[in-house]
């Protein structure tokens, strides 16, 4: 399909294990965002990519969280030594970059990866 694809859709893991979440953005979208959505909460910004670079990592909650993007396309969010408080839906979104960091085109979201840490 032509939309943003995320995998896995559901992941159940044990406390202390590492997890990788994948995002395949819309072709041609240079901007890519990761967000986290906990129950009853809004979307918490994690990291922004422009191409393969991440000029804004300000939302990553701890050094257990990291992300990379390769080929200006697929991105992977890695959570090391998972904790129960990491349980949430992790959403990826892509958009065209409109030339200024404050200028936002439409963000196209994937359906998210639901992470449950037991």
Chain contacts with another protein (rule: CB under 8 A): 4, 31, 33, 35, 40-45, 48, 50, 55-56, 58-59, 91, 93, 101-104, 106-112
Pick 18 or 68: Cβ nearer another protein: 68
CB of 43 to another protein, least distance (A): 4
Pick 17 or 116: Cβ nearer another protein: 116
Pick 63 or 100: Cβ nearer another protein: 100
Strands (DSSP E) found in 39-117 = 43-50, 53-56, 65-69, 75-79, 88-95, 108-109, 113-117
CB of 6 to another protein, least distance (A): 9
Q: Do 9 and 23 meet the contact criterion of CB atoms below 8 Å apart?
A: no
Phi, psi of 84 (to 5 degrees): -60, -35
Pick 14 or 102: Cβ nearer another protein: 102
Q: Comparing C-alpha atoms, which of 3, 85, 95, 6 is closest to residue 41?
A: 85
């Amino acid at each position: 399909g032509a939309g943003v694809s995320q995998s896995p859709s559901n992941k159940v893991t044990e406390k202390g294990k590492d997890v990788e979440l994948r995002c395949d953005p819309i072709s041609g979208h240079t901007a890519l965002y990761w967000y986290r959505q906990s129950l009853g909460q809004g979307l918490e910004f994690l990291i922004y990519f422009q191409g393969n670079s991440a000029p804004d990592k300000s939302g990553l909650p701890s050094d257990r969280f990291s992300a990379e993007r390769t080929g200006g396309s697929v991105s992977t969010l890695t959570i090391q030594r998972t904790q129960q408080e990491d349980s949430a839906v992790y959403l990826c979104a892509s958009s065209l970059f409109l030339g200024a960091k404050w200028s936002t085109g439409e963000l196209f979201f994937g359906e998210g990866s639901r992470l449950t840490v037991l």
